[in-house]
A and B are shown apart, each in its own frame.
Chain A
């Protein structure tokens, strides 16, 4: 059986190569006229990694180590990606209609890693997205906040829920795990489970300005491959999302010193690290 499947794989590979060769000649053809109604499939892939290693949930048998030398496992990683925008080399932009532009990437469910949208045919050198949920949507009528934006989604705050009831708003980035460095007292995890929890949110306040952890991320595609969006293809911008940078980013910190960060002033430091998570690895056109 195994040999047969390999043979099939080889065959598929061969066909793909031929197809790719075929499609390469297409890329030489002129870029289509930028026409807002001429929509074609496009996606950004959020491929989670942890430093030099692949991402895995509940990696208790093979721990990760951060820059502070702390060993840890990951039990949950969920974050919102929204408001996707693409830009051509000429500076033409297209913003995906907002109601089709909310995604939740769940580290435990690989099928959630693609943000599949439609943008006009064209060659794009830049993609922009929001890490989090914009303030407008955060305060919209409930009937316009369904699916992943439903405050009931995810089974509540202690499970996969991404909504804060007491301080109306979404958790943009939810990252939990365990590390033996966490103390058992009130400064750590009094339940003795040695859990760390980072629930980063804050849309800037409703009536007075408060902390705003919404991050707009712009990725330049020129180095690792521009997105050539055509109707007969699935252009996919493949990003690596290095969650090690939550700890090791510009505001590096140790798990032991900040094992729980939710709606607090310190969350601003971590949110700043979140902007460093994304690197463009390649584009599949």
Chain B
């Protein structure tokens, strides 16, 4: 925090010297810090040079994220399936519940730490955050709208034309501006203030309990290859041995048509598990215990099962005391500041 304050002060100083700007701008600078890379995180992969985050751009993105006009009959917003209090997932729904009560086939993933993501959706196929929203907006089971219609609806609303003008210097609402505003909001959804982060950053005397520490050691031994720190995902696509579902979702294969990608899904982050149940691409496990039991006892040797799960016995052995300890560690990855951050809430 001290270093953050110092940076803000420095910027204030620079602005006063450089432009002699008036008071309100300084106040804005104090409240809107833009995208900040947490010190314990790697460099982001999103191309910020093509989309500089500004206060207006971010606020516009937040408006759009909560705008029902993105859907065909103006009933569904991004936040319908990505609810902040559930770490931007749709808590309690195994698969997402969209327009006209239609159901999708996959569990709504969190909008969290996307600046570090190289591929989007459980099954991949999208590699640029700016093009991701096209999918939910146009998908039959989600918002079922076409982009040009969305723009038409927004163009008729002065609150949007003026906000686009403020954010991008033009009242024009087009694909690039629209998508980049949404990206600005989503990129700001950074979860990095869990107890784990504070321990790692040695902030305000935070430390693990002995159970959490033992869980951390076990986690590093049994889970961390795929759920690697500090994002708790390595961003790869893997088959974790789930029994093939009735809809026979082939995961990454659908996007690549490569036989070696069948039944592979994106490795999810383990941050904020307290808020994001149910788990897996189709939300089949309602509790963490269900997930542990899967790895301990239920892994199925389907096509392309990850080699890491092919020991003398399939899966990952987890004694019940180990489960308890790992659960205690995973509990330190919950970030209450993130789900309560007023900046990310609908205004």
Q: What residues make up the interface of A, taking CB atoms closer than 8 Å to B?
A: 139, 141-143, 145-146, 150-153, 155-157, 159, 161, 163, 165-168, 205-208, 210-211, 263-265
Given contacts A152-B147, A156-B146, contact A208 B258 (CB under 8 A): yes
A142, A151, A155: residue with the most chain B Cβ atoms closer than 10 Å: A142
Report B233-256 CB contacts with A as 1/0, cut-off 8 Å.
000000000000000000000111
Q: Does the CB pair B134–A165 fall under 8 Å?
A: yes
- Which of B126, B139, B146, B176 contacts A159, CB < 8 Å? B146
A142 is contacted by which of B126, B127, B138, B176 (Cβ under 8 Å)? B176
Q: What 9 A-B pairs have minimum CB-CB distances, sorted nearest first? A: A156-B146, A152-B147, A165-B134, A167-B125, A143-B176, A142-B176, A165-B135, A206-B127, A210-B256
| Residues in B neighbouring A153, C-beta threshold 8 A | 148
Instruction: Please tell me the number of chain B residues within 8 Å of chain A, measured between CB atoms.
Output: 32
- How far does the alpha carbon of A206 sit from the alpha carbon of B47 in the complex, in Å? 16
Residues of A with C-beta under 8 A to B126: 165-168
A151–B175 CB distance below 8 A: yes
B118 (CB) vs chain A CBs: closest residue: A207
* CA–CA, A25 and B154, complex, Å: 59
- The chain B residue with its CB closest to the CB of A140 is B128
Of A143, A151, A205, the contact of B134 (CB 8 Å cutoff) = A151
Is residue B213 within 8 Å, beta carbon to beta carbon, of the partner chain?
Answer: no
Please list 5 pairs of residues, one from A and one from B, whose beta carbons are closer than 8 Å in the complex, sorted by A's number: A139-B128, A141-B50, A142-B130, A152-B147, A165-B134
Among B114-134, those with CB < 8 Å from A are: 118-119, 121, 125-128, 130-131, 134
Binary contact readout B166-200 vs A (1 if CB under 8 angstroms, 0 otherwise): 00000000111001100000000000000000000
| Beta-carbon contact of A205 and B256 below 8 Å | yes
Q: A142-B176, A142-B179, A142-B180 are in contact. Are A211 and B257 (CB under 8 A)?
A: yes
B147 touches A168 (CB 8 A): no
Q: Which residue of A lies closest to B151 (CB)?
A: A152
Binding site of B, secondary structure by majority: helix, strand, loop or mixed? helix
- Contact A165–B131 (Cβ < 8 Å): yes
In the docked arrangement, what's the CA distance between A138 and B176, Å? 14
Q: Identify the closest chain B residue to A157 (Cβ).
A: B138
Chain B proximity of A116: nearest CB distance (Å): 24
Name, among A146, A152, A167, A208, the residue most crowded by chain B CB atoms within 10 Å (CB to CB): A152
Task: Give Cα A142 to B51, complex, Å.
Answer: 10
Q: Which residues does chain B contribute within 8 Å of A150, judged by CB atoms?
A: 174-175
The listed residue (B135, B179, B180, B257) touching A166 by CB distance below 8 A is: B135
Closest Cβ neighbor of A158 among chain B residues:
B146
For A208, give the chain B residue with the smallest CB separation.
B256
Q: B174 near A168 (CB under 8 angstroms)? A: no
Q: Which residues of B contact A166 (CB under 8 A)?
A: 121, 125-126, 135, 139, 255
Complex CA–CA separation, A258 to B261 (angstroms): 25
Known A168-B125, A207-B118; contact A155-B257, beta-carbon cutoff 8 A = no
A146: chain B residues at CB < 8 Å are 174-176
Contact A168 B257 (CB under 8 A): no
B284 to chain A, nearest CB (A): 22
Known contacts A139-B128, A167-B125; is-contact A151 B147 (Cβ 8 Å): yes
Q: Per-residue CB proximity of B64-99 to A under 8 Å, as 1/0?
A: 000000000000000000000000000000000000
Contacts of B119 in A (CB 8 A): 207
Interface residues of B in 305-330 (CB under 8 A from A): none
Instruction: Report the Cα distance A157→B256, complex, angstroms.
Output: 20
**A23 and B261 alpha carbons, distance in the complex (Å):** 61
Cα distance A152–B130 in the bound complex, in angstroms:
13
Contacts of B254 in A (CB 8 A): 167
A141-B47 in contact given A166-B125, A167-B255 (Cβ < 8 Å): yes
Cα of A151 to Cα of B147 in the assembled complex, Å: 8
Residue of B with least CB distance to A265: B257
The distance from the CB of B153 to the nearest CB of chain A, in whole angstroms, is 13
A219–chain B nearest beta-carbon distance, Å: 31
